[in-house]
Structure 1
Amino acid sequence: GGGRGDNKGGEGGGRGGGARSPASPMTSEAEREQALRDYKVTIEYKHLKQHAPGGVYLVPSLTDLRLFHGVVFVRRGPFTNGVFKFRVSLPPRYNDFNAHPSIHFGSYVYNPHVDPETGELDVKGAYPTWDPHRHYLVTVLTYLKKIFYMKTFGTDEPVANPEARELVRRDPKEYRRRVEACVRESQRSVFVNEEGCTAEFHEDRVCHQILRELMKERLKDPATMTRAQILEMVGEAKAEDERDGGGDGTEEG
């Protein structure tokens, strides 16, 4: 699109009598390289649909190709039942060497690999050299999940939260207490959605409960259920909710 616009501008200049000024080869090459980087981001995200680690979900921003919102559900270990929302930011030159992605958690995470002040995951600590031929979005999401299941932490390498690592060694019970506190905080804040966040959670409403009951009652064989039948049940649930005064005056999809 950008290339076609440049050519038209050049031709217009020629018709007006001025000398034609083609786009700089350096500019064109830079634009092509950036377009290739952008394309690789979309390929990586498509790859995640089949290969994302279990319990980790990522949704692209509606306004920024290099911004994603996600959530990880922790199913066992010290962080069991944690629901940690996060965002992934990719630098403009992502898919170049040492162009690390950055990950920030939305709620407090007490973990040696998470900065206690900023909530940033220590990606560079895990991958000092980011190699685009070996490291991808799935790589960093796998690491993100892994930190919630680690039982031991090395003593030599630097970490984002040295106090947490020291507490693991010196007072495991106190470490566990702080971890459980941050799990509870993650559950309390799950319905707090940042502006522009695409990984949103909303509290259950009466119409959702009604819909579940209707589906259990009528959904004998999921293979035979049509889209029209599902939409009909959604309409019934909304109507019953409004009759019972459960509606809030807004429509939800």
Structure 2
Amino acid sequence: METPDQNRTHSSRVSQYLRGIHTPSPSPSMKRSFLHLHQEQQQQSPSRTSNSAKQGTPQASTPTRPSTVASEHGPQTPKATLTTPTAGTPLTPQYSSPMFRRYELMTEYANLGLPNHCPPGVYVIPSPDDIHEWYGALFVHDGPYEGATFKFVLSIPANYPCVAPKVTFLTDMFHPLVGLDGEFSLGQRFTDWTPHTHYIYHILYYIRHMFKRSALKSIEEKHAFNKKAYQMFHHEPSVFTRLANQCAVLSSSESVLYEQPPSRNPIHFSPMSDSQLHAWRDHLSRSTDFPEVELRAVEKPSGGGGLKNLANNFNRLMNS
């Protein structure tokens, strides 16, 4: 063991060694070379330099991995220290590169596998033919749409992330934010879409949240694509709840749930026997850290005539 005197001697020698290491000062000729190189780079890209100075455009960087702290709108994203382009800002070369945007999109999808990044009950898979088309399924566990299975597609524009994706539900429903064409309104949450502040996982959390009764109460009429559903929720809540329940039942019926999707949609639903269900449950229990995995087969609604009447009533309402 070193004595205090030996320790001081050792520290003194280390300090002397560190002081002896220094970067040599550049000679006058080296300074002239660096100055000439800097001026040459400025002359080669004057427009890029001036545009960056005016707009405060950041240099290309790897997409930020969001925090794992979850809220009702998803994990909170750390605040950026650099300014980022808004939807109206022209894309700089690093953002306009198709390869860079594709890499960003793949990174976002990979990050959905991290804890708390993909909301419970929401599943998305990119189309094998197009990375800009993600198909999804939403399983609603509470609220007026409890028990529903809603299919949707997330259409990501070529100039994403400067422009927000578009969400379209493939399952018919009666919801204030869902238009007759299936488009889902993002205006309630994303009034101003900001690149690298808003991400796709924010949209997924928003979709899941807006099927809760408390979220339905917060919808502003200007953001409602279905004004009839909005008015009914506020003025005839019991009728709205009954229609929402009917939507949930129809979405899980065999004719809707097992309908053959387009070939580009990788999410397929098919009937499962009790033995297959138990086999899958055992497999999932062994392959995850969760002690218990609850799976249940979709129950077939009793009475074919009742389901047919339910569908007819719903169609009349949507077409009226």
Q: Shorter-chain-normalised TM-score: which range? A: 0.5 to 0.7
1:101 is aligned, of 137, 160, 165, to 165
3-state SS of 1:66 partner: strand
Work out whether residues 188 and 220 of structure 2, in 8 Å CA contact, stay in contact via their aligned partners in 1: no
2:175 is aligned, of 100, 111, 115, to 111
The AA in structure 1 aligned to 2:173 is V
Residue of structure 1 equivalent to 2:204: 141
CA RMSD of aligned residues (A): 2.6
Unaligned runs of 5+ in 1: 1-28, 224-253
3-state SS of 2:160 partner: coil
Residue of structure 1 equivalent to 2:229: 164
* Aligned 1:31-110 pairs, distance under 5 A: 33-50=97-114, 51-96=117-162, 99-110=163-174
CA-CA distance at 1:153 after TM superposition: 3.4
The AA in structure 1 aligned to 2:266 is T
Distance in 1 of aligned mates of 2:221 and 2:105: 34
3-state SS of 1:123 partner: coil
Unaligned runs of 5+ in 2: 1-92, 288-320
* Aligned 1:1-253 pairs, distance under 5 A: 29=93, 33-50=97-114, 51-96=117-162, 99-115=163-179, 117-149=180-212, 150-155=215-220, 157-188=222-253, 189-195=256-262, 196-205=264-273, 209=275, 212=278, 222=286
CA-CA distance at 1:154 after TM superposition: 4.0
CA-CA distance at 1:34 after TM superposition: 1.8
Structure 1 residues 155 and 58: CA distance shift in structure 2, 3 A? closer
**TM-score between both structures, scaled by the size of structure 1:** 0.67
The AA in structure 2 aligned to 1:109 is M
Residue of structure 1 equivalent to 2:301: none
3-state SS of 1:157 partner: helix
Name which one, 1 or 2, has greater alpha-carbon Rg. Answer: 2
Structure 1 residues 179 and 34: CA distance shift in structure 2, 3 A? same
Residue of structure 1 equivalent to 2:65: none
The AA in structure 2 aligned to 1:82 is A
Distance in 2 of aligned mates of 1:156 and 1:213: 47
Distance in 2 of aligned mates of 1:165 and 1:186: 21
The AA in structure 2 aligned to 1:57 is Y
Structure 1 residues 131 and 155: CA distance shift in structure 2, 3 A? closer
Aligned residues: 188
The AA in structure 2 aligned to 1:201 is F
